[in-house]
Amino acid sequence: MAKVLVTGGAGFIGSALVHRFVELGDQVRVVDDFSTGFRRNLEDVLDRVELLEGDLAEMSTAEAAVRDVELVLHQAAIPSVQRSVEDPVASNRANVTATLNLLVAARAAHIRRFVYASSSSAYGDSEVLPKVETMPENPISPYALTKLTGEKYCVVFHRIYGLPTVCLRYFNVFGPRQNPHSPYSAVISRFANLALDGQSPTIDGDGEQSRDFTFIENVVNANLLACHADGVQGMFFNIGTGERHTLNDLVRLLGNIVGHELKPVHRESRTGDVRHSLADIGKARRLLGYEPKVKFEEGLRRTVAWFQGNR
Ligand SMILES: NC(=O)c1ccc[n+]([C@@H]2O[C@H](COP(=O)([O-])OP(=O)(O)OC[C@H]3O[C@@H](n4cnc5c(N)ncnc54)[C@H](O)[C@@H]3O)[C@@H](O)[C@H]2O)c1
């Protein structure tokens, strides 16, 4: 049984990690300021987790969060490109200051592993596909820059202090509990809920932009592997599926799943968004033993089914 801290544990990815660790019988602490997360994401496990409400940009919260912990899964962030364009200072505070505080506190607490939720946005809009970890980074939004800065801090903390960090560059994660109701919500949770309501989704641009959409269960598996793999400290890994789908594909598949054709409306594309994204997952396969077991369509089916039962 490990003592685990999940930061941002009331959020989409964090709550999925919390559920998995609880299932495994680990002792779980969550720290969250509920800025984009929800208590309801943890309601069925609240009696089995320790919940610490606080802002990790405050050093005292970071210190309290890591006390007596072995594994840190750092998911807390303001995870939106658009919000970072509107308020880069807030994104920097939540994504960089909070990460630095947590690293400093984790070092003092002698944790065993620190896994950081990094982002494929590090690669920017380079047209080369797939994205490989050896490619130069080119962040094109404040969000991407803050996430990459957090990642670099993890690498540097390993190099100079020997802190056992591992960074996972997630590629467009989707699945149950992802918030569909904010203007900043990710596309699949929004479109799935519109489809269930029989409404048309609005697509930014022509819909031919593509993403390596990764079902949450694959991401949770990657985090568990990153907690325990040998010889990967100080490294960063792409976590995706190695396949990409356009938004037009997504809308068509969602139509098939809900049983009626969806006719999207198109509007102008957004500042800071990349056109295509696709992960090379060879490094994660080789060194973490990662395999994306749940494919896109299966993940979509499971996501729609979950929203259908939890609205
Ligand atoms: N969802 C994706 O497709 C995706 C892709 C790449 C990277 N990521 C990264 O994965 C992580 C989780 O993303 P998510 O989609 O679950 O987002 P989310 O908004 O659902 O979860 C983030 C959580 O962090 C909490 N939080 C934010 N600032 C905090 C602070 N200062 N102190 C304490 N808690 C704070 C929020 O309340 C929320 O519960 C983020 O770091 C994000 O950058 C996500």
Residue 272, pLDDT > 60, answer no
pLDDT at 196: 96
Alpha-carbon span 200 to 26, nearest angstrom: 42
Q: Is the CB of 116 under 6 A from ligand 1?
A: no
pLDDT at 274: 74
pLDDT tens column, 221-260? 999 999 999 999 999 999 999 999 999 999 999 999 999 9
Q: Indicate the domain borders of the chain.
A: 3-175+216-242+279-293
Q: Is the CB of 33 under 6 A from ligand 1?
A: yes
Span 192-218, average pLDDT: 95
If one looks up domain 3-175+216-242+279-293 in CATH, what number appears? 3.40.50.720
Q: Is the CB of 94 under 6 A from ligand 1?
A: yes
pLDDT tens column, 63-119? 999 999 999 999 999 999 999 999 999 999 999 999 999 999 999 999 999 999 999
Pocket mutation for ligand 1, best pick of 6, 7, 13, 188 (most atoms within 8 Å of C-beta):
13
- Measured in Å, residue 69 CA sits from the centre of ligand 1 at 20
CA distances to 5, 236, 303 from 32, rounded to whole Å, are 11, 24, 24
Alpha-carbon span 15 to 38, nearest angstrom: 9
Q: Is the CB of 34 under 6 A from ligand 1?
A: yes
